[in-house]
Chains A and B, each alone.
Chain A
């Protein structure tokens, strides 16, 4: 089969590889009909994620048709159309019982590696380094899905791949980012980053009752989408000082909640701290560039919530812990517990309350994935979200 394989920094190639097999009784094999490139795939592409091995198949956002099931899978059968959640979770352990699926204790066969980095291991994730299990990903014609009896959600033929695909990651991720803000009537929410997750976080915050959302980015097409499609106020950080602009827009108090939908490769202008982080990251003295996170903490109103959806990997410094403590801020974060959000969000899509397909800018065959990664990284051609078809 054809699959997108990682070969090093800025080097991904579509290659012929063997087809996946059932390895465990609860596995299924899914024929992928649509898969997307995630912003977090760009962290791998850029060489910021440790534990990658040459030849690893990438991709954790995918859906398709079941072609084979293991002996213990009774809830699915060949021919079923499914969307697969990106966290690999067993459904049986302490954390799965608490519905904290991305913290599943049983799905990462390389838990010892993650324990070294992070103290304890979260769940395994498709195509996201050997630290998180080294599972082959879904930017391929076929993919093996472990715990297929609890993860994938069956979907009807009436909705399109474009409407459903993002249930695998970014729609629940944007939704959980907004839910973590504990939005109350009258609240203003500021969102750093208007990529796919940021845009879906804006849509979700409005759905959850935010009075106003302020979107922060520098790409005009993204700010335009946030303003025209979702009705957000916008700040172009290439022109404005974000902290001053937010203070003014919120009557001198700050947004009630701030969402970081940027993560470890944040960018900033005319900012001494940014130059400092770039330098430290290049010298491997700091793993992440927390420019957006720092700004979100400084901007948040006292007693408010900072919700972190962007991915971080290691250590940062110059963390504004004084602001966090003295102003009673709450930080909420985590890899998304996708399994818990798929069904309610599917219902909202089916009812027409939510249609995440508005973020798609490019639909390409899997064969062009390598060029698609480059385009997405460089935001060429106003690229916001790429959907690949194997």
Chain B
């Protein structure tokens, strides 16, 4: 597999600084554990040199250097699709309510494009800072199996892509929130309710 550039520009600076710092710290009074730390530092510097972190792909992190909105230079990209066994107009009508869009965090969403039954696009600002933007594309599933909703969400991660890795490991990352929102939409449209266990009994924790 060819190596793909997946570090953000800001990360590369951080990787070089962090990696060299680790090596310098280890070199002052060498020991075996410190040698391992120095090795890790060297690996960070190497990643900065190649511009590629091999852990990102398994974590589903994708860096996008050509964001759909020109206001930001680089974003992380989440792409997800789901098939919902309901007609396209009904699925579109659901997502046309801004609170149903697979947005991230608590930001107000501005819908910037709305082509009925075809596409919805939005962006989220806090003050004048761009948090994320995204779009949904609607098309008929082949074989009359309902509607495919393809989501594309781009965001500027707090703390660069390293911050994104931490968020991913902690759980509440866009890579989780977007598919969860799509699944919730499917459940509501197909069954009339979203599955939950919140409020059920459990024994002593």
How distant is the Cα of A135 from the Cα of B202 in the complex, in angstroms? 10
Given the known interface contacts A93-B190, A94-B85, A106-B187, the answer about A144 and B195 at a Cβ–Cβ threshold of 8 Å is no
Contact status B203-A3, CB under 8 Å: yes
Q: Which of B180, B190, B198, B200 contacts A20 (CB 8 A)?
A: B200
Closest Cβ–Cβ distance, residue B80 to chain A (whole Å): 11
Contact status A3-B197, CB under 8 Å: no
Closest Cβ–Cβ distance, residue B191 to chain A (whole Å): 4
How distant is the Cα of A133 from the Cα of B179 in the complex, in angstroms? 16
Q: Which of A17, A20, A91 contacts B203 (CB 8 A)?
A: A17
Q: Which of B85, B195, B199 contacts A108 (CB 8 A)?
A: B195
Sort chain B's interface into a size bin: 20 to 34
How distant is the Cα of A390 from the Cα of B186 in the complex, in angstroms? 37
Q: Does A109 contact B (CB under 8 A)?
A: yes
Which residues of B have CB within 8 Å of A6? 203
Which residues of A have CB within 8 Å of B193? 24-26, 72
Contact status A136-B202, CB under 8 Å: yes
Instruction: Look across to chain A and name the residue whose beta carbon is closest to the beta carbon of B202.
Output: A55
Contact status B183-A111, CB under 8 Å: yes
Q: Which of B179, B187, B205 contacts A90 (CB 8 A)?
A: B187
Q: Does B204 contact A (CB under 8 A)?
A: yes
Contact status A20-B195, CB under 8 Å: no
Which residues of A have CB within 8 Å of B190? 90, 92-93, 106
Q: Does A161 contact B (CB under 8 A)?
A: no
Q: Does B83 contact A (CB under 8 A)?
A: yes
Given the known interface contacts A93-B85, A112-B179, the answer about A134 and B201 at a Cβ–Cβ threshold of 8 Å is no
Total A-B contacts with CB atoms under 8 angstroms apart:
98
Q: Does A124 contact B (CB under 8 A)?
A: yes
Q: Does A56 contact B (CB under 8 A)?
A: yes
Q: Does A64 contact B (CB under 8 A)?
A: no
Closest Cβ–Cβ distance, residue A257 to chain B (whole Å): 33
Interface size on A, residues (CB 8 A): 45
How distant is the Cα of A25 from the Cα of B195 in the complex, in angstroms? 11
Given the known interface contacts A5-B204, A15-B203, the answer about A107 and B195 at a Cβ–Cβ threshold of 8 Å is yes
How distant is the Cα of A21 from the Cα of B146 in the complex, in angstroms? 34
Quick one: which of A1-26 are within 8 Å of B by CB? 1, 3, 5-7, 13, 15, 17-21, 23-26
Which residues of A have CB within 8 Å of B176? 112
Which residues of A have CB within 8 Å of B85? 92-94, 97
The CB with the most chain B CB atoms within 10 A, among A18, A91, A94, A124, is that of: A94
Given the known interface contacts A90-B190, A93-B190, A94-B83, the answer about A7 and B197 at a Cβ–Cβ threshold of 8 Å is no
Q: Does A57 contact B (CB under 8 A)?
A: yes
Q: Does B97 contact A (CB under 8 A)?
A: no
Q: Which of B180, B183, B187, B192 contacts A72 (CB 8 A)?
A: B192
Instruction: Look across to chain B and name the residue whose beta carbon is closest to the beta carbon of A70.
Output: B193
How distant is the Cα of A387 from the Cα of B114 in the complex, in angstroms? 58
Q: Does A146 contact B (CB under 8 A)?
A: yes
How distant is the Cα of A105 from the Cα of B199 in the complex, in angstroms? 22
Contact status A21-B204, CB under 8 Å: no
Q: Does B145 contact A (CB under 8 A)?
A: yes
Closest Cβ–Cβ distance, residue A24 to chain B (whole Å): 4
Closest Cβ–Cβ distance, residue B4 to chain A (whole Å): 22
Q: Does B31 contact A (CB under 8 A)?
A: no
The CB with the most chain B CB atoms within 10 A, among A3, A24, A56, A105, is that of: A105
Quick one: which of A111-160 are within 8 Å of B by CB? 111-112, 124, 133-136, 140, 144, 146-147
Which residues of B have CB within 8 Å of A17? 201-203
How distant is the Cα of A134 from the Cα of B204 in the complex, in angstroms? 15
Contact status A23-B198, CB under 8 Å: yes
Q: Does A54 contact B (CB under 8 A)?
A: yes
How distant is the Cα of A54 from the Cα of B191 in the complex, in angstroms? 31
How distant is the Cα of A21 from the Cα of B197 in the complex, in angstroms? 10
Closest Cβ–Cβ distance, residue A83 to chain B (whole Å): 21
Q: Which of A15, A21, A25, A53 contacts B199 (CB 8 A)?
A: A21
Q: A18-B201, A57-B201 are in contact. List 18 more A-B contacts (CB 8 A).
A: A5-B202, A17-B203, A20-B200, A24-B193, A24-B195, A53-B202, A56-B202, A57-B202, A91-B191, A92-B191, A93-B85, A93-B186, A105-B186, A106-B183, A124-B195, A135-B197, A135-B200, A136-B202
The 5 A-B pairs at the shortest CB distance, nearest first, are namely: A5-B203, A55-B203, A55-B202, A17-B201, A106-B187
Residues of A within 8 A of B (CB): 1, 3, 5-7, 13, 15, 17-21, 23-26, 53-57, 72, 88, 90-94, 97, 105-109, 111-112, 124, 133-136, 140, 144, 146-147
A selection of 27 A-B contacts at a CB cut-off of 8 Å is A3-B201, A7-B203, A15-B204, A21-B200, A23-B196, A24-B193, A24-B194, A24-B196, A25-B192, A25-B193, A53-B205, A54-B203, A55-B203, A55-B205, A72-B192, A88-B195, A94-B83, A94-B145, A105-B186, A106-B183, A109-B194, A112-B180, A124-B195, A133-B195, A135-B200, A136-B201, A144-B200
